[in-house]
Amino acid sequence: MFYLDYAAACPIRLEIAEQYSSCCRRYFANPHGGTCFAEECRRVILDAERRLLGCLAIPEESARVIWCSGGTEALNLAIAGLAEFRKIDKIVYDSTAHPAMLEPLKKLGRNGTTLLSLSVDQQGILQPFGKENPPPPFLCCCHGNNETGQIQPLSLLRKAAGEKCIFCIDAVQCFGRVSLPWEEVHIDLAVVSSRKIGGPASIGALICRKGLDLTAQILGGGQQYGLRSGTLDTVAIKLFVDSAELACLNRSKEAKRLLELNQYLRQHIEKLSNGQWPVFSSLKGVPDIFSFAIPGYEGALIARILAEKYQILIGTGSACSAESAQTSHVLKAMGVPDKIARCQLRISFGYATTKDNLDAFLEALPNALKEFNGSP
């Protein structure tokens, strides 16, 4: 099987998987308890917080880590927690963000919060808004888009929003690939996830600037400063941060390798299509995502053929499927017609991707197109 859907989920790294059994036997205690075993787990978690901030180049004195079940929960806590605590009445947001950001915002909108969406150009780059008076109190956006890989101009957005605006970033797709400008841009809330970097799938984190208060969304025993109740999973947290360190240790070298794969695939798709297939990913985006469309061919069906007949797993990058008329909200915001958006394919790479994987895809794709017997 050839796996080319890392933007959806990254297979767990072998060196992380090999630790799992021994970690489960060692760190079995409730870290919130009073035994010596609980104390050991607490120390592992505190050390993991320090190491995660180190991976992100965030000074320990400027932020705290709130461990969550993944990026979705962390974004819900960041957005709903801040809006509720501060009684936010207006939010500016990224119209191409992941649903994990958009859905909490929509709920706030239904409850009376004014939502102002940022437009994007044809490359999917957010366009800074004009000067607001008073400036918006809250700005939410993705660092890197999960469908196209486009990296957003965080510095320009911060400048337009003003110094007092609270800035929330979904950094899930960029984590381990692109550095997060925490201090440079003065980010207040940032979300990262383990499943996108080869760690356990059940853990993520909200990085919260110290001094910023939130209203808890999960209630119970009052763990984690009373912001997120629930017994912490010491094993998942440790292995998440182990994965983060592996991803960040050779980030520059790995980004170069992934960019070379991206360019290789891009050149061959250009040749295969005679330049007729629209490409939605920029070489200036994250290096591990290449999104394009084959007009006239339903993306979901092509992906299904590749999976069933050639054991090649890719993504479509959107909610479109043979059973649904919905298309990507990201491509729609970019001005891509629905009939083209439904034909989107997203190829995404990771730590185990090789050129042989791409060659297998490039060899199978023309055959899959011949076998396609539907129409978008």
Tens-digit pLDDT profile for residues 5-33: 999 999 999 999 999 999 999 999 999 99
Q: What is the mean pLDDT of residues 144-161?
A: 96
In CATH terms, is domain 14-249 a member of 3.40.640.10?
yes
Confidence of residue 99 (pLDDT cuts 50, 70, 90): very high
Q: What is the mean pLDDT of residues 24-52?
A: 96
| pLDDT given for residue 323 in this prediction | 45
The mean pLDDT value of the chain amounts to 94
In CATH terms, is domain 251-371 a member of 3.90.1150.10?
yes
pTM of the model: 0.94
Domain with CATH 3.40.640.10 in the chain: 14-249
Is 321's pLDDT higher than 60?
A: no
Q: What is the mean pLDDT of residues 306-335?
A: 81
| pLDDT given for residue 320 in this prediction | 39
| pLDDT given for residue 20 in this prediction | 96
Domain with CATH 3.90.1150.10 in the chain: 251-371
Is 135's pLDDT higher than 90?
A: no
CA of residue 245 relative to chain centroid, distance: 17
Is 44's pLDDT higher than 70?
A: yes
| pLDDT given for residue 26 in this prediction | 96
Q: What is the mean pLDDT of residues 29-47?
A: 96
Among 69-73, 290-294, 322-326, the range scoring the smallest mean pLDDT is: 322-326
| pLDDT given for residue 262 in this prediction | 97
